[in-house]
Amino acid sequence: MTERFVTRGFVGRRQAPDAGQRIPPGQYLTNDFPVLSAGPTPHTPLAEWTFSIAGLVAQPISWTWDEFLALPAREFVVDISCVTKWTKLNTRWQGVSVDTLLEHVSLDRQAAFAVAWSDGGYTTNLPIADLLNGQAFVAYLYDGEPLAPAHGGPARLVVPHLYFWKSAKWVRGLRLLEHDEPGFWESFGYHNRGDPWKEERYSGD
Amino acid sequence: MTTTYQPDIEDLTLDANAVGGLLIEIFGTDMTAVLSQCAHCGNRGEVATLRAYVHAPGTVLRCGVCAQVVMRIMRTADGHYLVDARGAAYFRV
Amino acid sequence: MATIEWRLATVAQIREETPRVRTFVLDLPDWAGHLPGQHVDVRLTAEDGYQAQRSYSIASEPHSDAPRSAQIELGVERVEDGEVSPFMHDVLMAGDRLEVRGPIGGYFVWDGMAPDPVLLVAGGSGIVPLMAMVRHRSATGTRAPVTLVYSSRTRDDVIYHDELAGLAAHADGPRVIHTLTRSQPPGWTGFDRRIDRQMLEGALDGTAVSTQAFVCGPTPLVESVAEALVGLGFAPGRVRTERFGPSGG
């Protein structure tokens, strides 16, 4: 194997992870909020926007934007980690916990998995267990301001304990299933679950 | 704290010229001038006209007309490339 | 099965073109030549193996003399929060070596062979690949009429200003139309707004049907210019584009 050429004086913009337990392995700390996307920004008018829960539920449910904003919401301050190696600490959001949303439906006994789907066609899959107990929410404010379209506004899923590709931007609903259905990146070489603390980046990790 | 210019996704969008080197690595030849047909809408054009989303866990090339995915490329941990070109009806080489 | 290899270039010279843009002259043994419009990929590797890679357009014209010239010029704009361009501007020195691969690109190229009129539209550092086309035309004496519409923020941001003025002064040189969008020097009589349909129509002077256009620069500029040209009668295939991403605000 040929020796790799090292460029004199190049360090790259990463910072060494700070001491302590908050940066998952292989990640670097950023103070920016990088914009990542697999496609163009959707622009669904709020008058047409809905969030729905369907699939293995007794009765599907759907909220309009106004109805969604009327749901009990709270502020969340969480650390987020992207599989492209940046981690951002103490991100501040306002949104509705997925627990709150699921209170409005009656899950079938076999419902074990969810697919979060978004405007523009993006999907990501999670076990329902990863959406419960305060682990996930649908956010519409970031840092006190309406969530910018580039960051997934008007509303996105936020699941901070998994790599951020699971936090679907422009989310419009959850489909609850008996079986797991790999989403956009999970079906294309990325890990099915994506736990940053186990560095579950790629399938086979 | 300085205000960092936060680009919109539209500003960040490139075209496949930007991944020309990657495509040569994968296909063994320059692909930017190669004609492809979108499997979704039928639009025909050079690969260079596909919109490239490179700020993502992988590279996504989308049709410049209908915005559907024509090709996706990601790099595995062991240095292989996964290439999904189902969104191209064909490449004319 | 890669047919494009990384090779080591040596930095021969670094020239400041504008406060934000530098020309990097690279010595590249075994360079097989390139076409105007093509680019190279540059790769940086840190001690721990971390790598960053970017594409930069070749500003120099191909040299037809033998032995083939082993030197190319890249035009690189320093992007404020960038990872590669600040390194190239702030750390790289003449004598350093750099990993480069190329030339890359078979679409956004102009070899000057066809006699059709050419419209070049540049925003900011988008001028770099178009400059290779302009230089090539001048070096080979090609007769194709060339018009360049070039948008910059201020007079100080105009890359290759004097060289373009010198070329434009010749009877069959390129026609160069500048627009300065942020501020203009005293006595400026040129355009002071973003490139729009009206400006392009004036630049075309009725030749839209036969003209081949090349548009390069920040993505928003490329999108709006391409749309305007199609609106002026260009078949989409006669407008070739290369998007450089955000303009950096």
Q: For position A16, what pLDDT does the model report?
A: 64
| Chain A hits for B84, Cβ within 8 Å | 188
The domain C118-243: what is its CATH number? Answer: 3.40.50.80
The answer to whether residue C172 scores a pLDDT higher than 50 is yes
More confident residue, C21 or C1: C21
- What does the alpha-carbon distance between residue C203 and residue B67 come to, in Å, rounded to a whole number? 31
Residue A126 dihedral angles phi and psi, to the nearest 5°: -150, 150
A100, A72 contact by CB (below 8 A): yes
Nearest to B50 by CA among B20, B24, B15, B74: B15
- What does the alpha-carbon distance between residue C211 and residue C192 come to, in Å, rounded to a whole number? 25
Per cent of chain A over pLDDT 70 is 96
The answer to whether residue A56 scores a pLDDT higher than 70 is yes
Contacts of C169 (CB under 8 A, 6+ apart): none
Name the packing angle between helices C161-168 and C127-140 (round to 10°). Answer: 40
Q: Which domain holds residue B21?
A: 9-92
Per cent of chain C over pLDDT 70 is 94
For C24, C26, C63, C102, C247, the CA distances from C97, given in Å and listed in that order, are: 12, 9, 23, 16, 28
Contact A5 C92 (CB under 8 A): no
In a domain, B51, yes or no: yes
- Model confidence over C177-212: pLDDT tens digits? 999 999 999 999 999 999 999 999 999 987 666 889
Which amino acid, one-letter code, is at C101? R
Nearest to A89 by CA among A98, A100, A77: A77
| Beta carbons within 10 angstroms of residue A44's beta carbon | 15
- What does the alpha-carbon distance between residue B78 and residue C202 come to, in Å, rounded to a whole number? 54
- Which CATH number goes with the domain that contains A107? 3.90.420.10
| Chain C hits for A32, Cβ within 8 Å | 81
Task: Please give the DSSP secondary-structure letter assigned to residue C69.
Answer: P
Compute the nearest-CA separation of C83 from chain A (Å).
6
Mutation for B interface: C5, C57, C101, C219, most B CBs within 10 A: C219
Q: For position A17, what pLDDT does the model report?
A: 66
Q: Is B3 exposed, middle or buried (0-12, 13-18, 19+ CB in 10 A)?
A: exposed
Q: Is B32 on the interface with C (CB under 8 A)?
A: yes
Per cent of chain B over pLDDT 90 is 85
B62, B84 contact by CB (below 8 A): no
Q: What sign for the dihedral angle of Cα A66, A71, A77, A83?
A: negative
Section A59-79 average pLDDT: 98
Q: Which residue has the tokens 């450089």?
A: C244
The answer to whether residue A72 scores a pLDDT higher than 90 is yes
Tokens encoding C144: 């194709």
- Mean residue pLDDT across chain C: 93
Q: For position A15, what pLDDT does the model report?
A: 66
Q: How many domains does chain B have?
A: 1
pLDDT category at C14 given cuts 50, 70, 90 is very high
The answer to whether residue C129 scores a pLDDT higher than 70 is yes
Compute the nearest-CA separation of A148 from chain B (Å).
9
Q: What angle do CA B83, C244, B72 make, to 5 degrees?
A: 10
Report CA Rg, chain C. Answer: 18
Q: How many domains does chain A have?
A: 1
The answer to whether residue A50 scores a pLDDT higher than 80 is yes
The answer to whether residue A20 scores a pLDDT higher than 80 is no
DSSP for A60-117?
-EEEEHHHHHTS--EEEEEEEE-TTSEEEEEEEEEEEEHHHHHTTS-B-TT--EEEEE
Task: Please give the DSSP secondary-structure letter assigned to residue C93.
Answer: -
Q: For position C69, what pLDDT does the model report?
A: 59
ipTM: 0.94
- Residue C176 β-bridge partners: C148
| Beta carbons within 10 angstroms of residue C199's beta carbon | 19
**What does pTM read for this prediction?**
0.95
- Model confidence over A112-134: pLDDT tens digits? 999 999 999 999 999 999 999 99
In a domain, B21, yes or no: yes
Ranges A26-35, A157-166, B2-11, most confident? A157-166
Tokens encoding C52: 């960053």
Tokens encoding C99: 């990993």
Q: What sign for the dihedral angle of Cα A146, A151, A155, A157?
A: negative
Q: For position C210, what pLDDT does the model report?
A: 80
Mode of pairing for the β-strands spanning A50-55 and A28-29: unpaired
Q: For position C107, what pLDDT does the model report?
A: 98
Q: For position C1, what pLDDT does the model report?
A: 43
- Model confidence over C144-161: pLDDT tens digits? 999 999 999 999 999 999
Q: What sign for the dihedral angle of Cα A124, A129, A130, A131?
A: positive
Answer yes or no: same fold for C7-104 and C118-243: no
Q: Is A176 exposed, middle or buried (0-12, 13-18, 19+ CB in 10 A)?
A: buried
Helix residue ranges, H only, chain A = 65-69, 98-102
Q: Which fold has domain C7-104?
A: Elongation Factor Tu (Ef-tu); domain 3 (2.40.30)
Using CB atoms, which chains have 3+ pairs under 8 A with A?
Answer: B, C
Q: For position C159, what pLDDT does the model report?
A: 98
In a domain, B1, yes or no: no
In a domain, B2, yes or no: no
Q: Chain A neighbours among C 68-127 (CB < 8 Å)?
A: 81, 83, 87, 91-92, 96-99
- Model confidence over C27-79: pLDDT tens digits? 998 888 999 999 999 999 999 899 999 999 999 999 766 555 589 999 999 99
Tokens encoding B24: 């040569």
- What does the alpha-carbon distance between residue A4 and residue A2 come to, in Å, rounded to a whole number? 6
- What does the alpha-carbon distance between residue C214 and residue A98 come to, in Å, rounded to a whole number? 50
Q: For position A13, what pLDDT does the model report?
A: 73
In a domain, B67, yes or no: yes
- What does the alpha-carbon distance between residue C173 and residue C151 come to, in Å, rounded to a whole number? 19
Kind plus residue range of the DSSP H or E element containing C147: strand C146-152
Contact C45 A13 (CB under 8 A): no
**Do you find a cis peptide bond into A154, omega within 30 degrees of 0?**
yes
The answer to whether residue A10 scores a pLDDT higher than 60 is yes
| Chain C hits for A12, Cβ within 8 Å | 44, 46, 50, 52, 83
Contact B11 C245 (CB under 8 A): yes
- Model confidence over C84-106: pLDDT tens digits? 999 999 999 999 999 999 999 99
Compute the nearest-CA separation of A141 from chain B (Å).
17
The answer to whether residue B2 scores a pLDDT higher than 60 is no
The answer to whether residue A190 scores a pLDDT higher than 90 is yes
B73, B59 contact by CB (below 8 A): yes
C52: left (phi over 0), alpha (psi -120 to 50) or beta: beta
